[in-house]
Chains A and B, each alone.
Chain A
Amino acid sequence: MKVIVPVKRVIDFNVKVRVKTDGSGVDLANVKMSMNPFDEIAVEEAIRLREKGKTTEIIAVSIGPQQASETIRTALAMGADRGILVRVEGEVEPLAVAKILKAVCDAEQPGLVILGKQAIDDDSNQTGQMLAALLGWPQATFAHKLEMGDGKADVEREIDGGLQTLEVKLPAIVTTDLRLNEPRYASLPNIMKAKKKPIDEKSPADYGVDIVPRLKVLKVTEPPKRVAGVKVKTAAELVDKLKEIGAI
């Protein structure tokens, strides 16, 4: 069984995001970029499935600019077998990403697609669910634990207030939450090996997908700024102040 893991190149989660003064977006120039943290968890989970003999091949797919091949290389260094880079410039919406991924799935016939639950740039939390709908496959989002069975998977999911277990028929879509696993660091020999692993380059046109954004971003602004308030001297004073303003 093949596993497909889509990976997105995003601003590193430790970087402080700066909004451009002209309101056109976020400043990406000379900013450290990394693999979306939830996608790293997805790659790790796929590798663990292979270590348990549950999958034969892991394909990392990225939809993005030429530099997204670095993100694919990271996945290959972690242990994915080959990559597919779908070259696009600019923003691609979750729906268009899902359409491209559907076409990749139609061609590759995976038994499982593991995606990050959301990308930490646009925070949409849509792609996995949309892909599942387009393919007509079941989904188990926000996965906390994944157990592969015969023609099915049991997935423990993080829901508001606790955990829920779903059984989904394969092929299926799984999206990762934080507690699913802790991704490994790639070792130096594996980073070297990853350089020799193949990456196929494609374009959205190869899959017949129109990627023109439908949602128009009119502007991007900074959120209202908070200003430092007052310092209190004792814990008792803090409690009194909070009571005074009705916060407790």
Chain B
Amino acid sequence: MASLVIAEHDNKSLKDATAKTITAAAQVSAPVHVLVAGSDCGAVAEAAAKLSGVEKVLVADAPLYAKMVAEPMEALILSLVPAYDAILAPATTNGKNFLPRVAAKLDVPQVSEILKVLSAETFERPIYAGNAIATVQAPAGKKVITVRTTAFKAAETSGSAAVEKVSAAPDPSVSKFVGEELSKSERPELTSAKIIISGGRGMQSGENFHLLEKIADKLHAAVGASRAAVDAGFVPNDYQVGQTGKVVAPELYIAVGISGAIQHLAGMKDSRVIAAINKDEEAPIFQIADYGLVADLFKAIPEMDAELTKLGY
């Protein structure tokens, strides 16, 4: 049969998470169809049609799907499910929100946040915040899967799939979108940033995070924090990287004034390159850092800033 990928988008542009999920889906069950559920989302469907490996794009274009509210999404996906043997969504807040409802209705277990596809029914997924990796085998029948997108390469854009309209499913009318407040930061989001610079208790105050923001703006990086910095009230909780915060895996993670508590490491140790600046030579962060600098951050960060300026950043 085929697999169905639920697209991540904002009605205007298709998110990279979709292209990565398509790569995973192609390994589970080909061909791959993509469902774009949204409102006035024609451009998104066009973008999805260009991704390699996609055979067909289904578009459910209705105001009901503008914000991908879970209950209508469940009804829509269930209406399409009979034609597929695998349903996949990126493990974004959207995918995590609606997909378990689909699994429950199909009476199958969901395999969450897969890192690797070993066979059509065998997957690797992180448990204990990535401190252990479980190899799991799903039972026969339909597979319902969310994908940790940092673990897969994005599908290329050399395809030309057919785009087909599908009708909206009945509205369960049990919930209503009221509003949203999206962060206005020019900086990328923590979970999708290629570079992250995070501060810990060593930052000493919230004001001092401006030092990191200057570097972040030069590198188009996101700014994060350890739980210690959040608990100390330096920055809000949505900055938190760690087991109980956000799990990230950027190309480069720069840890500044972070000692490296287990709970923090669990959230960032899958980063491709880790750099750490800490004045304590014994700080555990150095045990996992590719580049370590033992220095006072209040001296090192301005120096780093100056060097970046010198190099034209």
Contact = CB atoms under 8 A, between A and B. Distances in A.
Contacts of A98: 104
B310 to A, nearest CB: 8
The contact size tier of chain A is 35 or more
Contacts of A222: 132-133
Nearest to A134: B104
A131 B103 CA distance: 11
Nearest to A228: B287
Interface of B: 67, 69-71, 74, 92-94, 96-105, 107-113, 122, 126-139, 172, 174-183, 189, 191-192, 195, 219, 236-238, 240, 243-245, 251-252, 262-263, 269-270, 272-275, 277, 286-295, 299-301, 303-304, 306-308, 311, 313
10 contacts: A123-B112, A130-B100, A160-B189, A164-B177, A165-B178, A217-B136, A223-B270, A229-B292, A232-B291, A240-B307
Interface stretch (A13-21, A57-65, A69-77, A184-192): A13-21
A168 interface: yes
Given A133-B100, A165-B180, A167-B175, A223 B130 contact: yes
B70 to A, nearest CB: 6
Q: What is the predominant secondary structure among interface residues of chain B facing chain A?
A: mixed
B303 A165 contact: no
Nearest to B137: A216
A133 B104 contact: yes
Given A123-B113, A178-B245, A215-B111, A221 B133 contact: yes
Interface in A159-196: 159-169, 172, 178-179
Contacts of B182: 161-163
Interface of A: 11, 13-14, 16-17, 19, 26, 37-38, 93-95, 98, 120-127, 129-134, 136-142, 154, 157-169, 172, 178-179, 213-223, 226-243, 245, 247-248
Given A37-B244, A168-B175, A222-B133, A248 B287 contact: no
A137 B291 contact: no
A248 B109 CA distance: 41
B293 A17 contact: no
A229 B272 CA distance: 13
Contacts of A136: 172
Contacts of B244: 13, 37-38, 120, 178
Given A14-B262, A124-B110, A228-B288, A220 B134 contact: yes
Contacts of A16: 131, 262
A210 to B, nearest CB: 11
B307 A236 contact: yes
A30 B198 CA distance: 34
B70 A141 contact: yes
Given A141-B70, A218-B135, A123 B128 contact: yes
Contacts of B74: 133
A94 B179 CA distance: 30
Q: What is the predominant secondary structure among interface residues of chain A facing chain B?
A: mixed
Contacts of B122: 218
B252 A217 contact: no
Contacts of B126: 123, 223
Given A236-B304, A247-B252, A130 B291 contact: no
Contacts of A125: 96, 100, 112
A226 B134 contact: no
Contacts of B172: 136, 138
A222 B299 CA distance: 37
B100 A159 contact: no
Nearest to B251: A247
Contacts of A228: 286-289, 292
A97 B244 CA distance: 22
Contacts of B301: 235
A127 B103 CA distance: 11
Most buried by B among A93, A130, A140: A130
B277 A238 contact: yes
Given A229-B289, A232-B292, A129 B101 contact: yes
